[in-house]
């Protein structure tokens, strides 16, 4: 695992954007696995800025997102499709048809999951998969449990995730209780993984990912079995590792 410990959120965002930009420049037809949530917002801002400065093009890029709330329309302002449009896709030259987010309204969820996996396989998996991490160690919406789920699936969100994400909704009751999530198989199938984390409330998840037992109780820990992972975290997210003497 290659580790970057950055001073603060902005430095973390810039470093993560550099890793993505390097991939896009090196392979202008690459497949990007993308994430939503508050952590990558700054990363996407840098990518949009660099696109506007003429340093990057997304014209040949195809993207697959990690997850989507079940039951939200694409134009719902808390849907992950909406997030991707407003934070990245609407501001760069990516071809709309080349972006894919699970369909939160799919009439046949099992079929949507199977088709999503078939699509990812048809692309040859992501060249670079961006991941945030939940406070409980989830990646995508692969919540802690007693086993890993390989395929794209419908997840019952953990209470702690509903609580954490309620900050984006008017009330806690408005937070969807289920989501579509890429499984561990597609995440581990990516050629390279970029994990980003910011803030003190991620310190335990980052510590358990890097140093804890490898297992489904902390889904992020499986990344230690992946041969090409880059972790970019700010000092606050890194604090438990720093206290344990890990000094990249």
Contact residues toward ligand F6R (CB under 6 A) are 35-39, 66-67, 132-134, 138-141
Options 136, 142, 165, 208, the catalytic residue:
136
**Given the complex with ligand F6R, which of 141 and 245 has the nearer CB atom?**
141
**Given the complex with ligand F6R, which of 60 and 105 has the nearer CB atom?**
105
Q: How far is the CB of 93 from ligand F6R (least distance, A)?
A: 23
143 tagged catalytic: yes
The answer to whether 31 touches 126, Cβ cutoff 8 Å, is yes
Options 112, 143, 153, 165, the catalytic residue:
143
**Given the complex with ligand F6R, which of 60 and 162 has the nearer CB atom?**
162
Q: How far is the CB of 36 from ligand F6R (least distance, A)?
A: 4
Options 6, 65, 138, 142, the catalytic residue:
138
Q: Please report the DSSP string for 181-241 in residue order.
A: E--HHHHHHSS-EEEEE-SGGGHHHHHHHHHS--BTTBGGGGGGGSSSEEEEEEHHHHHHH
156 tagged catalytic: no
Residue number of the CB atom closest to ligand F6R: 132
Tokens of 45: 């801002």
136 tagged catalytic: yes
Whole-angstrom Cα distance, residue 186 to residue 172? 30
Whole-angstrom Cα distance, residue 150 to residue 139? 13
**Given the complex with ligand F6R, which of 61 and 206 has the nearer CB atom?**
206
**Given the complex with ligand F6R, which of 43 and 92 has the nearer CB atom?**
43
Q: How far is the CB of 22 from ligand F6R (least distance, A)?
A: 21
Whole-angstrom Cα distance, residue 191 to residue 185? 12
Q: How far is the CB of 132 from ligand F6R (least distance, A)?
A: 2
Q: How far is the CB of 226 from ligand F6R (least distance, A)?
A: 16
The answer to whether 73 touches 37, Cβ cutoff 8 Å, is no
Report the candidate in 54, 63, 53, 56 with the shortest Cα–Cα distance to residue 31.
63
Options 6, 67, 68, 112, the catalytic residue:
67
- DSSP conformation class of 244: T
User: CA dist 122 to 31, 89, 245, Å?
Assistant: 11, 22, 43
User: What are the catalytic residues?
Assistant: 67, 136, 138, 143
């Amino acid at each position: 695992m290659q580790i970057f410990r950055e001073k603060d959120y902005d430095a973390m965002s810039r470093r993560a954007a550099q890793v993505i930009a390097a991939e896009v420049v090196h392979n202008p037809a690459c497949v990007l696995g993308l994430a939503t949530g508050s952590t990558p917002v700054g990363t996407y801002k840098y990518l949009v800025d660099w696109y506007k400065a003429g340093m990057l093009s997304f014209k040949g890029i195809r993207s697959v997102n990690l997850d989507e709330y079940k039951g939200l329309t694409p134009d719902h302002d808390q849907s992950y499709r909406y997030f991707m449009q407003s934070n990245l896709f609407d501001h760069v030259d990516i071809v709309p048809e080349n972006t894919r987010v699970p369909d939160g309204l799919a009439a046949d969820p099992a079929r949507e999951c199977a088709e999503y996996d078939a699509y990812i396989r048809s692309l040859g998996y992501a060249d670079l998969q961006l991941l945030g991490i939940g406070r409980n160690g989830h990646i995508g919406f692969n919540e802690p449990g007693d086993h890993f789920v390989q395929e794209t699936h419908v997840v019952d969100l953990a209470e702690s995730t509903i609580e954490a994400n309620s900050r984006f909704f008017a009330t806690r009751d408005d937070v969807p209780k289920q989501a579509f999530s890429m499984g561990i198989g597609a995440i581990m199938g990516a050629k390279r993984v970029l994990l980003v984390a910011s803030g003190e409330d991620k310190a335990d998840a980052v510590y358990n990912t890097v140093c804890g037992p490898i297992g489904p109780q902390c889904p992020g820990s499986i990344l230690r079995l992946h041969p090409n992972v880059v972790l970019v975290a700010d000092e606050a997210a890194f604090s438990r590792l720093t206290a344990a003497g890990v000094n990249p």
